[in-house]
Structure 1
Amino acid sequence: SLSGALELWFDEALKHATATFLKEATASVTDLRSMCRMWAVRSTCHTIFGTAMPDTDMAEGIAQVQVFHRFMFNKNTGALRDAETLEEFQRTRAFLDEAVRVGLAAARTGDRTILASLLEAMPGDIQAEERIDHLRPVLFRILFERLGIDGLSLLWALVHLGQDPDLVEEIAKEALSETGASSLATAVASEIQRLYPELPFFYRTTSQDLNFDTMTIPAQATLLFSPFLLHRDGRCWEQPTRFDPRRFLNGAGHPAHFVPFGIGANARRQADRVIAQSATVLTVICKTSLFGLAAQSRPGDLLPVFRSILAPRGRISLWWKSRAFELVAQRA
């Protein structure tokens, strides 16, 4: 019964998270990664759990959830059966229990959160700890489906836009004439997922022999698949290492070559959701702000480390101005 309202709730949380991001983006943004991480937490977790747990505590817990998710995503079925014995599982469960417990204590009838709505639907004779056991897996699944990893899609978009003021101006102009997300901002969000996919690589263990023409991959072999490498393959993309969002306006590339969340219907839905979310916030940012890389942002810091997530090598700083403030200053 909530499904029709959920997208509206998440849209509202995204607006509030973006507004908070802009308030915190003063003249100098000294740690862009931290700000993007908090933006991701606020845009997702407030709708799921509410706001009772401090955002900093939620961010620390979410980091643990993501470690567990990346760990389990690359495990075979046998490892999954023993998941409860793993330290990563126990830490994740402890955080989720605390998040649910704090959310339950603060929940009020009519709150526009998933936790409060589920609580209203539960029979009144269920004990407190049982409520947590019922709610934890449901909320974890929604969190897993919704949460962008560390807000890195926003971070990398701002890194590239911060080096291309003309592109920022184009998005700002589109925002004045279009409703919703700018089409160019959507192309930027797609290009960011091409260059910095949410899942840069993952692996699987074969359950049986696989035959491909003359090649046989035996059962119990480990297969590594890398969207990061596929997205930078010159056989699939023209000038693959170049940041060129307009390639997505021109329909470049084959859908099978663009798999930032992996393969399958769920992966495509996640990709569409993250791209739409990123495009919305980039449109707002470009329409309201002027920004660029600060002098202390070294070129080497802007390169991703090829690990389970594509985080930058060092701290990224930006200079930042409000367009409205700049306009007043020019008139003065």
Structure 2
Amino acid sequence: MHSNPNDIPFVKPSAARYAQLGLLKIAENACRQHGDKVWIGEEDDAMLLLAGARHIRFFLENESSFPKELEHTASVRRILLGQSLITAREGEEWRLARRLTAPMVNPKSTLLKKGTQLSAQWLVAALQDPKQDSMQEVCLQWALMCVAQGFVGPTLSPPQLNTLISHFRKIYLELIVAAPTEDYAALCQHPSLAAFREELESMIGPLITGGGGGAGNINMLQRFCQALDINAHPQERERAISMLLGNLAASVDNTGIALLWCLIHLSQHPHYQDWVREESRHAKRDIACAIVKESLRITPVTAFFERGTEGPLEIDGAVIPAGTKVLFSPWLVHRNASYWPEPLSFRPERFLEGRKIAREYFVPFSVGKRNCVGMALALDQLTTAIETLCSHCHFSLAPSTVPAALTPICGLNVMPRGPICFTIESLGRVTQHEYIA
């Protein structure tokens, strides 16, 4: 006998409650009070939060029933990124974007491998410079340097690309604010969007070409232009630019904030820095990789991923109607004691013990066919950065750090709530200074 979806508990936070706590804390409280299946919102516009590992497994077994179709009323990212991989609808459009992107985010790519190594060295120099004062900005700049040449070549400098991405974030937030009161057509004509597109064209447009170097030196933009044959099909020019921007934004924001969380955890557990340093002397980096994975487990930068139901679905005995918005939560699965002993303890050894970890227990890059296409690259970049940094510096949380600053807040991704101070000590030098995130 099926139960009614209305039997699933409802949590109806007010707008003020959303503003005060944010969705992440509301979801945590809802699951603590009602279990791992709960409606959030008003009845006519509620999301179904499925926060158990069995729900992730159900999704994997029934993925075709959970399309990622973005409605016009909720497609601010699609307005900005057009037909990019991130926002592409199911079907040939998405398959094309995935096929073109996958080879260009391979960590063994000549250009990206070079970028990963050089940016790690830059990171060490930046953190040893007491003039720098924002760890968050340094981490984002590091992530940008990792991919800049591999994505667009050497013509645009990292500061130019950083300006572009900063404007992207600003416009995205402006459109999110405007979305509830303006229809899709009005959002597409938003003045700030027009100015951003003009800036994007002025920076990326001159780099567009159908040519390129050898297979090991071709950058992402050249790859897109060749595959879409924009010389013969100039209408594909906008698609090439939007696909590039989508990959660039995702590669910088998520990876940069992931590094910041890695440094926060390592600052509180300095013995792991010694462990990384010792392994590095023997050309090993197992513990560095485990540290990255444990950081992504306890503080995944993507707390939720959303899907819709194509038709009625039976989930835990309840028949969920077609068109339901469903939230799956890496954050809540990763912090559930049923799957991870002492889930709030930072223990990278979990990933060294040889224990097979069920696929549905660890999903920091989402899961299924639409998981992050660049996850192998991000893991390599983060591991290289941690190994290099620990080999040159010792870092800890400064006494001036307010504990509340470490609590997460979910915006574009999961970030620390406030400024965090680090004490950086250069190994082999008698220098020490504070660094503010």
Aligned counterpart, 1:38:
141
Query: What amino acid maps onto 1:172 in structure 2?
Result: R
What's the counterpart of residue 310 of structure 1? 414
Deviations 1:139-181 (A, max 9, x none): 34653674451601111111111122211011000001124xx
**TM-score of the pair, normalised by structure 1:** 0.79
Which of the residues 360, 363, 370 maps onto 1:259? Answer: 363
Counterpart code for 1:317 = C
CA distance in 2 between partners of 1:89 and 1:204 (Å): 26
Counterpart of 2:425 in 1: which secondary structure?
A: strand
The equivalent residue for 2:123 is: 21
Structure 1, unaligned runs of 5 or more: 73-80, 328-332
Q: Which residue of 2 aligns with 1:10?
A: 112
C-alpha separation in 2, matches of 1:57 and 1:257: 39
Residue 249 and residue 63 in structure 1: after superposition, are their counterparts in 2 closer, same or farther (change >3 A)? farther
Q: Which residue of 2 aligns with 1:97?
A: 201
Q: How does 1:283-322 map to 2 (within 5 A)?
A: 283-322=387-426
SS in 1 for 2:151: helix
Per the alignment, residue 272 of structure 2 pairs with 167
1:227 is aligned to: 330
Please give the alpha-carbon distance, in whole angstroms, between the structure 2 residues aligned to 1:172 and 1:90.
49
Contact 2:140 2:253 (8 Å CA) reproduced: no
How far, CA to CA, are the matches of 2:368 and 2:229 in structure 1? 36
Matched residues in 2 for 1:92 and 1:267: separation? 28
Matches within 5 A, 1:119-198: 132-133=237-238, 135-140=240-245, 142-143=247-248, 146-147=251-252, 149=254, 151-179=256-284, 182-198=285-301
> What amino acid sits opposite 1:271 in the alignment?
M
Q: Kindly, what percent of the aligned residue pairs are identical? A: 22
- Taking the aligned partners of 2:341 and 2:362, their CA distance within structure 1 comes to 13
* Residue identity matched to 2:291: V
CA contact (8 A) 1:208 1:220 kept: yes
**1:156 counterpart letter in structure 2:** W
Tell me, yes or no, if the aligned pair for 1:171 and 1:185 is still in contact at 8 Å: yes
Cα offset, 1:95, TM superposition: 5.1
Q: Is 1:247–2:350 an aligned residue pair? A: yes
Native 8 Å contact 2:139 2:260 kept in 1? yes
Aligned counterpart in structure 2 of residue 115 of structure 1, from 212, 217, 221: 221
Deviates most, 20-29 or 286-295: 20-29
2: CA distance, partners of 1:94 / 1:283: 40
8 Å CA contact retained: 1:49, 1:115: yes
Match of 1:238 in 2: 341
Aligned residue identity for 1:113: N
- AA paired with 2:313? L
Given that 2:309 and 2:324 are in contact with CA atoms closer than 8 Å, whether structure 1 keeps it comes out as: yes
Name the residue aligned to 1:201. 304
Aligned-pair CA distance for 1:290? 1.7
Residues 1:145 and 1:33: Cα distance change in structure 2 (over 3 Å): closer
Equivalent residue, structure 2, for 1:78: none
SS at match of 1:260: coil
Residues 219-248 of structure 1: CA distance to partner in whole angstroms, max 9, x if unpaired? 122212111111101111101111111111
* CA distance in 2 between partners of 1:320 and 1:170 (Å): 18
1:269 shift after superposition: 5.2
Distance (whole Å) between structure 2 residues aligned to residue 205 and residue 93 of structure 1? 30
Greater displacement, 84-93 / 136-145: 84-93
Contact 1:30-1:316 within 8 A present in 2 as well: no
Quote the Cα distance in structure 2 between the aligned partners of 1:12 and 1:248.
Answer: 27
The DSSP-based 3-state class of the residue aligned with 1:325 is: coil
What is the alpha-carbon distance in structure 1 between the residues aligned to residue 307 and residue 133 of structure 2?
Answer: 39
Say if 1:96 and 1:150 are closer, same or farther in 2 by CA, change over 3 A.
farther
1:323 aligned residue: 427
Say which structure is richer in helix: 1
1:210/1:117 Cα in 2 relative to 1: closer, same or farther (>3 Å)?
closer
Q: How much has 1:50 moved relative to structure 2?
A: 2.6
Give the secondary structure class of the aligned counterpart of 2:164.
Answer: helix
Count of residues in Structure 1 that have an aligned counterpart in Structure 2 = 315
Alignment of 1:68-87 (within 5 A): 85=188, 87=190
Secondary structure (helix, strand or coil) at the match of 2:389 reads helix
Q: Post-superposition shift, 1:255? A: 2.2
- Matched residue, 2:38: none
TM-aligned CA distance change 1:66 to 1:149, over 3 Å: farther
One of 379, 391, 408 as aligned partner of 1:275:
379
